[in-house]
Amino acid sequence: MSYTSISQCAADTAFFQRVQACAAQEGEGSNPGAWASTHIWMIASDPEIEASYAYAVETGNPDPGGDPSAITDAQILAKVQPMIHGSTP
């Protein structure tokens, strides 16, 4: 795990937008941007998300946060859903 890849992921606009979209779909429709801002560091520092992001960067992916083959929608959902619904994955 690298603090560099965590910080890059947390600052990645495309990744942030995908987290927002997930939050909106899961019921945070009133202000998914604020929800994502509050939780982006926890999501980006998750070991699975961080490893996927780091691998995408290391292999030259030009859009690691926006590429659903680098970090899948299912990975994002698995982190967002329990945060919103208060359950464990």
Query: Radius of gyration (Cα) for the chain, nearest Å?
Result: 12
In the chain, the amino acid numbered 21 is: A
What does the pLDDT read at residue 20? 97
Q: What is the pLDDT along the chain (89 residues), one digit of tens a residue?
A: 799 999 999 999 999 999 999 999 999 988 999 999 999 999 999 999 999 999 999 999 999 999 999 999 999 999 999 999 986 54
What does the pLDDT read at residue 29? 80
